[in-house]
Amino acid sequence: MYQNILVAVDGSEESEYALQRAIELAKKHESVIHLIHVLENYRYPGDTGSLRKEKETFGKQLLQKLQKQAEEQGAKKVETIFDFGHPRSIISKKYAKQVEADLIVCGATGANAVQRLIGSVSEYIVRTARCDVLIARMPEDKVL
């Protein structure tokens, strides 16, 4: 049913839980998982570039760690995508089309969430995606 699953990750517990749900589906449907991490493309006040470089390093290391984790848990094929820009539009418009995603999986809220029921990136993806979307909400008693 699902051949290409695009999974948005940002380092939050909910995005890692979303990956777990994607791995379950990928194993069931023999899908390719496309992990994506998008770094906001803006300058940080007073930063000479070191903070941006730190965030870039974090994102790339996160993708490597999660790719290895997914493969160890039985995902058949896992690819990674790192890019700069606005996560909302890049995930649902650019990369969903590029990888021919038939499912996008993301956490209900991400690393920048401030007590919201659903994050702005997740909300945008639901409204604009041209494929199925799974919003994974980590149960309160679940600890990764």
Average pLDDT over the chain, rounded to whole? 89
pLDDT at 117: 44
The CA distance from 125 to 133, in Å, is 8
pLDDT at 110: 56
Encode pLDDT of 92-141 as tens digits.
989 999 999 999 999 986 555 444 444 578 889 999 999 999 999 888 76
Read off the amino acid at residue 73: Q
Beta carbons of 106 and 16 less than 8 angstroms apart:
no
Nearest to 83 by CA among 72, 98, 65, 104: 98
Given a cut of 80, whether residue 36 has pLDDT beyond it is yes
pLDDT at 89: 86
pTM, whole model, 2 decimals?
0.89
Q: Which residues contact 141 (CB under 8 A, 6 or more apart)?
A: none
pLDDT at 46: 76
Encode pLDDT of 43-61 as tens digits.
767 777 788 899 999 999 9
pLDDT at 22: 98
The CA distance from 106 to 109, in Å, is 8
- DSSP-derived letter for residue 142 is -
Quote the tokens at residue 91. 């995930």
Q: What Cα–Cα distance (Å) separates residue 8 from each residue in 22, 53, 66, 87?
A: 10, 20, 11, 9
pLDDT at 45: 74
What domains lie within the chain, and their CATH numbers?
Answer: 4-136 (3.40.50.620)
Given a cut of 50, whether residue 82 has pLDDT beyond it is yes
pLDDT at 142: 62
SS3 at position 115: coil
The CA distance from 42 to 88, in Å, is 14
- Kindly list the strands in the beta sheet with 132-136, ordered across the sheet, starting from the edge strand earlier in the chain: 77-84, 32-39, 4-8, 103-107, 132-136
pLDDT at 105: 97
Query: What is the percentage of the chain residues whose pLDDT exceeds 70?
Result: 88
Kind of pairing, strands 32-39 and 4-8? Answer: parallel
